[in-house]
């Protein structure tokens, strides 16, 4: 120890005092201590510091007071050994208190009280160097001992490691973050999504499916309903007795369109109803069942009308080629007779084929039977006619030609009644079909209450 520091109390370890005694001898230190005057009696008694020991895990430790009565209330006749022992005990107690991180609460000694000067203390020798202070010069062991004793009197209480500590403000970037678990948030989000899907989206999906199927059915019905007026026109042409083969042939386009639209309605009636999503009511889809059941009869009726008109057109076009004969003269030479024989045989064969291909219709059954009868009798007629020409029997030939012409005219006349009957029946069916389609469309749109 070359220099003694007066600004700060040395450590709590009492070894510093023993070192001083060993450096200059025990006797010299004892003499210096003997020369110390006792503190004046008016000085306040030294109050021992209260020691609070803080143990780990926040356990409360009883406090104790350091027995320093020997220091404060020592008699003037106390020996130097007792003073040294008291000082060493106080230093050791302070060391233990620091090692256990204790909080010492003790009243501060008033430093303004004039401390008694140690007897025999040497005054600092003046120095010739103006820049050196008395502290910077080398002190004798006795002076160092006196200085240290004075520091013990003026020492302040030891402050613990956490005295005066206060928490700093947390950084804003750190305090703004929140640590939480994402699993509950994700689970809650999934539950909310399922509830929304179950309560909002799934019923909406059901209604959309029902509306789409409903729109498909009403669109097919609207298309068929719009084709019925043109069908009435086709029916009029097909049942007109004076209609030509060309007029009848032009009806095929319209009748094909009617068949296609009737098939669309039939397909809509046979289509499966859309499925109902889980956890939703099937009422919107169930309401389509009675509508769908009525589509198939409507389609069947439309197809029946179309087939009857088309069959009538085909019947009339075939019958226009029935027994198409060349001019039948009452007189003819051998070559003409030969040509007539070939032409009449061909007409009979073709007529037989036509009769086999005629479509069946209850209203045309009598007319068909009459045509077969005429064709069968034509085989005998042509033999008699050719024989009259060969024998130049003009009267017989004229009679045979008139008879055949009358039969053919009768066949045409017999067609007027069936045509009128077909027109009346089919027109009634068309009107009923239009009314039924309008009713089903109104039911699909909610304009007509369900039966």
Q: Strand pairing partners for 51? A: 64, 104
Burial category of 303 from C-beta neighbours within 10 Å (exposed 0-12, middle 13-18, buried 19 and up):
middle
- Over residues 348-391, the pLDDT tens digits come to 999 999 999 999 999 999 999 999 999 999 989 999 999 999 99
Nearest residue to 207 (alpha-carbon basis) of 279, 282, 273: 282
Burial category of 264 from C-beta neighbours within 10 Å (exposed 0-12, middle 13-18, buried 19 and up):
buried
Reduced to 3 states, what is the DSSP secondary structure of residue 365?
Answer: helix
Listed ranges 17-26, 169-178, 318-327; the one with the highest mean pLDDT: 318-327
- Over residues 109-122, the pLDDT tens digits come to 444 444 444 444 44
In the block, residue with structure tokens 């639209």: 261
Distance from C-alpha of 358 to C-alpha of 361, rounded to nearest angstrom: 9
Burial category of 160 from C-beta neighbours within 10 Å (exposed 0-12, middle 13-18, buried 19 and up):
middle
Q: What average pLDDT does this structure show over 200-218?
A: 83
Phi/psi at 90 (5° precision): -65, -40
Q: What is the DSSP string of 254-294?
A: HHHHHHHHHHHHHHHHHSPPPPPPTTS--HHHHTTHHHHHT
Q: What is the dihedral of CA 294, 296, 302, 308, to 10 degrees?
A: -130
- Which distant-in-sequence residues (6+ apart) come within 8 Å of 294 by Cβ? 269, 436, 440, 443
pLDDT band at 210 (very low <50, low <70, confident <90, very high): confident
Given a cut of 90, whether residue 87 has pLDDT beyond it is no
In the block, residue with structure tokens 């309903």: 225
- pLDDT value for 161: 61
Strand order in the sheet with 103-105: 64-65, 50-52, 103-105
Q: How far is CA 79 from CA 142, 229, 257, 314, in A?
A: 18, 144, 140, 155
Distance from C-alpha of 261 to C-alpha of 291, rounded to nearest angstrom: 18
Distance from C-alpha of 375 to C-alpha of 254, rounded to nearest angstrom: 33
Here the tokens at position 154 are 């003026």
- Which distant-in-sequence residues (6+ apart) come within 8 Å of 258 by Cβ? 224, 227, 230, 231, 302, 305, 306
Distance from C-alpha of 321 to C-alpha of 408, rounded to nearest angstrom: 12
Question: Taking the domains of the chain in order of start, what are their residue ranges?
Answer: 15-166, 188-444
Distance from C-alpha of 228 to C-alpha of 259, rounded to nearest angstrom: 11
pLDDT higher at 210 or 279: 210
Distance from C-alpha of 411 to C-alpha of 366, rounded to nearest angstrom: 10
Q: Are 414 and 366 in contact (CB under 8 A)?
A: yes
Residues making up the chain, counted from first to last: 451
- pLDDT value for 281: 76
Here the tokens at position 15 are 């070894």
- Over residues 252-273, the pLDDT tens digits come to 999 999 999 999 999 999 988 8
- pLDDT value for 174: 52
Average pLDDT, the chain: 74
- pLDDT value for 119: 45
pLDDT higher at 331 or 48: 331
Distance from C-alpha of 87 to C-alpha of 179, rounded to nearest angstrom: 55
pLDDT higher at 9 or 95: 95
- pLDDT value for 108: 47
- pLDDT value for 357: 92
- pLDDT value for 83: 54
* 41-45, 163-167, 380-384: segment of lowest average pLDDT: 41-45
Distance from C-alpha of 363 to C-alpha of 418, rounded to nearest angstrom: 5
pLDDT higher at 351 or 276: 351
Q: What average pLDDT does this structure show over 310-322?
A: 93
Q: What average pLDDT does this structure show over 335-352?
A: 92
Distance from C-alpha of 142 to C-alpha of 306, rounded to nearest angstrom: 142
Q: What average pLDDT does this structure show over 152-170?
A: 60
In the block, residue with structure tokens 């991180």: 101
Given a cut of 80, whether residue 89 has pLDDT beyond it is no
Reduced to 3 states, what is the DSSP secondary structure of residue 97?
Answer: helix
Q: How far is CA 113 from CA 23, 153, 366, in A?
A: 32, 10, 155
- pLDDT value for 150: 67
Q: Are 323 and 375 in contact (CB under 8 A)?
A: yes
- pLDDT value for 199: 66
């Amino acid at each position: 120890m070359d220099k003694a520091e007066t600004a700060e109390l040395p450590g709590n370890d009492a070894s510093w005092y023993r070192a001083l005694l060993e450096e200059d001898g025990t006797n010299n230190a004892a003499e210096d201590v003997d020369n110390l005057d006792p503190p004046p009696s008016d000085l306040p008694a030294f109050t021992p510091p209260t020691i609070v020991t803080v143990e780990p895990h926040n356990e409360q430790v009883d406090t104790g007071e350091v027995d320093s009565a020997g220091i404060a209330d020592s008699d003037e006749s106390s020996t130097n050994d007792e003073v040294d022992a008291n000082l060493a005990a106080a230093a050791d107690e302070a060391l233990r208190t620091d090692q256990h991180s204790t909080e010492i609460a003790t009243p501060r000694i008033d430093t303004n009280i004039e401390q008694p000067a140690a007897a025999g203390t040497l005054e600092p020798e003046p120095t010739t160097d103006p820049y050196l202070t008395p502290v910077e010069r080398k002190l004798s062991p006795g002076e160092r001992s006196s200085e240290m004793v004075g520091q013990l009197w003026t020492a302040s209480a030891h402050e613990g490691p956490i005295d005066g500590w206060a928490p700093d403000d947390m950084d804003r970037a750190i305090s703004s973050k929140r640590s939480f678990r994402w699993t509950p948030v994700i689970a809650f989000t999934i539950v909310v999504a399922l509830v929304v899907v179950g309560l909002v989206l799934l019923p909406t999906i059901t209604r959309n499916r029902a509306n789409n199927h409903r729109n498909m059915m009403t669109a097919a019905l609207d298309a068929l309903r719009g084709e019925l007026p043109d069908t009435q026109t086709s029916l009029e042409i097909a049942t007109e007795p004076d209609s030509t083969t060309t007029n009848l042939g032009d009806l095929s386009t319209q009748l094909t369109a009617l068949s296609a639209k009737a098939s669309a309605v039939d397909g809509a009636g046979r289509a499966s109803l859309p499925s109902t999503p889980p956890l939703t009511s099937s009422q919107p889809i169930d309401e389509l069942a009675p509508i769908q059941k009525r589509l198939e009869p409507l389609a069947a009726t439309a197809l029946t009308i179309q087939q009857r008109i088309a069959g009538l057109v085909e019947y009339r076009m075939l019958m226009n080629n029935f027994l198409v004969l060349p001019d039948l003269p009452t007189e003819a030479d051998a070559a003409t007779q030969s040509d007539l024989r070939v032409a009449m045989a061909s007409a009979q064969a073709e007529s037989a084929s036509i009769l086999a291909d005629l479509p069946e219709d209850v209203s045309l059954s009598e007319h068909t039977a009459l045509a077969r009868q005429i064709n069968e009798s034509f085989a005998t007629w042509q033999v008699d006619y050719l024989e009259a020409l060969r024998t130049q029997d003009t009267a017989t030939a004229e009679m045979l030609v008139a008879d055949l012409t009358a039969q053919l005219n009768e066949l045409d006349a017999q067609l007027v009644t069936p045509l009128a009957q077909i027109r009346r029946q089919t027109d009634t069916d068309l009107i009923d079909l239009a009314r039924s389609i309008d009713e089903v469309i109104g039911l699909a749109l909610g304009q007509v209450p369900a039966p």
